Structure 1
Amino acid sequence: MTDSRPLLMLDVDGPLNPWLAPETRLAGYGMHQMRPPGWEPPHDPLLVRLNPAHGPALLALGCELVWATTWKDAANAWIAPVLGLPALPYLDWPDGHRADPTGVHWKTRHLVRCVAGRPFIWVDDEIGPTDRRWVARHHTGPALLYRVDPAVGLRPDDFDTLAAWAARPTPGPAADKP
């Protein structure tokens, strides 16, 4: 992560795969059966909804894209090809899903260590007020913490907001989706 562009730390389930959406089809999304590591038989395939228009929209943001998902490198094998994305760097979560005694999301501390003061956007469906406060206290650069509803995923207006912030990273405390 040596690029000078803002980082976009991207979760899969929620923002790209609106896993809480009703069973009806979402416009632009296709349903994909996937077997990433951990989903081999006897497990049923994982059903993932993806919108191929998201790949070009993400690339157009002008950010350095990084997977910030439990899919880790498997996102490059299963998600990136559907979206038309190249293989991306990914965060390797050392602590798994351990609950933090202070209420900070289990991804937050490691993510902030990895961005190392660079401007970043974190797109996830599990960001909360405790994460915003923690990032505001512990991250020295601009940050946008952008929570996406896992019932709808990323929408065109979300890409507009992300592009505007990426073009002019706002210094100061972490912000939230309007």
Structure 2
Amino acid sequence: MRLLLMSDTHLPRRARELPPELLEEVPLADVVIHAGDWVDTDTLDLLESRARRVIGVYGNNDGPELRARLPEVARAELAGLRFGVVHETGSAQGRERRCSERFPDLDVLVFGHSHIPWDTTAPGGLRLLNPGSPTDRRRQPHCTYMTAVVEEGRLTDVRLHRLPPRAEEATRRPPVTRRPAPPAQ
């Protein structure tokens, strides 16, 4: 079973549309997982129209329409693995312990919010995955998403995909630094 993981798409605030590389992955996936901060319902509608199955949650930037359609926490068993999806997990420090305590019945937890890719396994075995953001890299060098495979109750082939700069990012001029005027004589 092939999975496509994304979060923090923030459309149309951070980009006009999803990157073409990401959209090409949608029909190839058996399940698309989105960990919140969609911002508009059009993105949810688009993914639901193109994907075989969408599992998603709402994030802190999602309004009433998305909150009416999506849960705060989603759970699903996929090919023998117990998955959970949430938007926010708190600070990186202590994340594995907090998530293991909050979700003792899960094998994999997909989360977002920080826009920072994350892939760790807690001491108790919980795998924590944050795919980053495909549209808003924030302080990261690239926009990102993840793919993974579930087979025979195991998560394999977890890959972080780095997207090329968007056209508007690539052509953006650096800020102009103005020199102070010379002192008057």
More strand by percentage = 2
* Higher Rg of the two aligned structures: 2
More helix by percentage = 1
| Relative contact order, higher structure (CA 8 A, sep 6+) | 1
TM-score of the superposed pair, with normalisation by structure 2: 0.39
